[in-house]
Amino acid sequence: MSLDGVYDDGNIFAKIVRGEMPSVKVYEDTEILAFMDVFPQAKGHVLVISKTSKARNLLDAEPKTLGRVIGGVQKVTRAVKAALKPDGIVVTQFNGAPAGQTVFHLHFHIIPRWDGVPLGRHGEGMADIEALKALAEQISAALDG
């Protein structure tokens, strides 16, 4: 898919927001949702999405939405740092299929990194749901306010 297009209400993240598909939640408020990536590239890989915007990517998003979402990204990234104590954290966001975007709903990836531990390939394998739940609880417990 290109950088331009029409938002698809049937995308997996829209279904998660509506409660039609399950997710392992880390944080939620009225405007954003953070949940564990079921195809993680590293232990503790979290996704942060807008619950209210129909933006397909960063270029479609309203500035107010971006401000709210990036504030949520910072909040969850701080919790990932506190809970998992990684050596570094990648925060990334893709725009268009050639850039690696596979779900066309604005979202950010928070990927903890440890020295000497290679980054996995996204979609390489589905994580154990019970392990994701334990990580989500650990990260949620480290949220500030």
Residues annotated as catalytic (active site), given as ranges: 107
32: nearest Cα among 13, 59, 7, 9? 13
The pair of structure tokens assigned to 71 is 């504030």
How far is the C-alpha of 89 from the C-alpha of 141, rounded, in Å? 18
- Residue 24: both structure tokens together: 């392992």
Identity of the amino acid at 33: L
| Token code pair at residue 127 | 């994580």
